[in-house]
Structure 1
Amino acid sequence: MPGSFTARLMNLEATSKETFRFSATLHNAAPRPVIYNFSAAAPSGWNLMFRVDGMQVTSFRADSGRTQEVSIELTPAPEAKPGKYTVPVHAVSNTDTLLLQLEAVVKGAYAMELTTPNGLLSGEITEGSRKAIHLTVKNTGTLPLDAVEVSAQAPSKWDATFEPAKIERIEPGKSVDVVANLNVPDKTIAGDYVTTFTARNNSVNASAMFRMTVTTSLLAGWIGVVIILAAIAIIYLLIKKYGRR
């Protein structure tokens, strides 16, 4: 008498970033113990494993009349496109071959990444000047991204504009370059400042923190030196004039 290989739920739905976990039942109806070897025809790039009592296995010895719970874990390939995938699963013994047809429905997922072309998130700028920062908006999901807007949260009185400020569409796996023009006002105190760039649409958003080191201009430095020297000269003259009295 052949055994049986069944699942409570034959069809599961998840995104390509999740693992499909099927709960199956294997029953040995033979009058003797049987060793079953597990195998599956998963799509290319997918990963599949079988677990019995929490342990990963490739085969299992079932006593006569025994029913055993088997967990089947199916992980899609990262680039798996949305759709329905049929996965035949077999439990094979010396006497029979048990077939279980599973279905994994991959849902589309929104995901976005905001970075720079070289991955560097820091730079240097002179106070009172403008700097072009090159950003990259990547679609790391499986669905297109529409109407993506780019914005910035900058220090007080700083100004940022973008080219382009709005991206009509980014296909999965593609990226779009954006230039952020950052304006630093005059008389900004030298030091490190953080600007947070954000790309978002109605479904997802991504941010990147950019650290900018502000330096004073050469002219401002010379003016400061002149002022200091003038102050020293005035003090010297005052001491020379009144110090003798």
Structure 2
Amino acid sequence: MKGLKLLVSLVLTAFATAGSLLVVHSVALAKPVENVLSAAELPAQRSPTGEEIKMNCRYPVLSSYAGSYFSYSIDLEYVGGKEPRVFDLKAEVPQGFTYSIYPGYESTEIAAIRIDPNKGYPETIKVTVRPYVWLTPEPGEYTVKVFASSGEVKNSIELKAIVTAKYDMAVEPSTGRFNTEATAGQDNYFKIIVKNTGTAPLEKITFGSSITGSPSGWSITFTPDKIDTLGVGDKREVQVNIKPARKTIAGDYMVTISADTEAKNAFASASIRVTVLVPTIWGWVGVGIIVLVIAGLAVLFMRLGRR
């Protein structure tokens, strides 16, 4: 019978030591995943006096796109004690991530918190986990563990973050200059670069354009007119032919060039200032008309002067 009691005691102690809670809470761009198991508190490690620190949170799983940060809100409740205790706080994060711990409603970073067992309500802390600015994590599931300990009273909580693919792209002139010239009634070529700046391939990219004031008779075409696939970090050069209407008045026009995927999960645009010039032949025609008018006036004055 004594051996049986010892075995039960060892099993209960091992179960209590391994206890953890899967919890996540989010802010900013993150969103909680629906229909997940609610956080259920497992036995914390008790001290010989029956003291324990409970850790709890509402959302067990969080999902957001690569590059964003995750902020977990955790409730800490110290029970079984008579006097306040200071609990050390730390976290274990995946490689490539960093973390900060704050009080629930303050912005000062902390490494410990003083909890009074007689308060009657839990203390709240926020644990913010983010990837390093120069790294973009691969899509997948990541586990974060948060620990609270004060002597023999300790517990931990397990958080899960699901990183999803980020769909994004950029459009910019190949020369880096957002202005060009175009002759009315003629083909004028301008090159742009389309780059995949996300973390997943982009499929079936098509192009469009618009002109401020919507002048009639303009033609803007793209070669190629679509991109079937653009891998992560890849870029493609596209030639744009801007052909203003033949009777377009000389001046500056704003042309917006856009790129969009068929799935509508990524979009980019660039505004280009186009200075429209009149064809040279019309310039000479204008000069000829002016010369003829001056010559006609000169002849008229000469005839009137003789009279």
Aligned partner letter, 2:62: L
Counterpart contact for 1:10–1:22, Cα < 8 Å: no
Q: CA RMSD in A?
A: 2.3
2:237 alignment counterpart: 177
Residues 134/49 of structure 1: CA separation in 2 closer, same or farther (3 Å cut): same
Q: Is residue 25 of structure 1 aligned with residue 80 of structure 2? A: no
- Listed as ranges, the gaps of 5+ residues in structure 1 are none
Q: Deviations over 1:220-240 (max 9, x none)?
A: 323322221111001111122
In terms of Rg, which structure is larger? 2
TM-score (norm 1): 0.88
1:50 alignment counterpart: 101
| Counterpart Cα distance in 1 of 2:161 and 2:152 | 29
Q: Deviations over 1:183-232 (max 9, x none)?
A: 23434321001212111122232221111112234443233222211110
Percent identity for Structure 1 against Structure 2: 31
Alignment map for 1:1-245 (pairs within 5 Å)? 1-29=51-79, 30-55=81-106, 56-58=108-110, 59-66=112-119, 67-77=122-132, 79-154=136-211, 155-201=215-261, 202-203=263-264, 204-245=266-307
- Listed as ranges, the gaps of 5+ residues in structure 2 are 1-50
Residues 117/95 of structure 1: CA separation in 2 closer, same or farther (3 Å cut): farther
Q: CA deviation at 1:244?
A: 4.3
Aligned partner letter, 1:64: P
Local SS of the residue matching 2:274: strand
Q: CA deviation at 1:140?
A: 2.4
How many residue pairs get aligned? The number is 245
Aligned partner letter, 2:286: G
Q: CA deviation at 1:6?
A: 2.6
| Counterpart Cα distance in 1 of 2:291 and 2:54 | 96
Counterpart contact for 1:151–1:165, Cα < 8 Å: no
| Counterpart Cα distance in 1 of 2:234 and 2:250 | 38
Local SS of the residue matching 2:52: coil
Could you list the structure 1 runs, at least 4 aligned residues long, displaced by more than 4 angstroms after superposition.
Answer: none
Aligned partner letter, 2:190: I
Q: CA deviation at 1:111?
A: 2.0
- Compare the two structures and name the one with the higher strand fraction: 1
TM-score (norm 2): 0.72
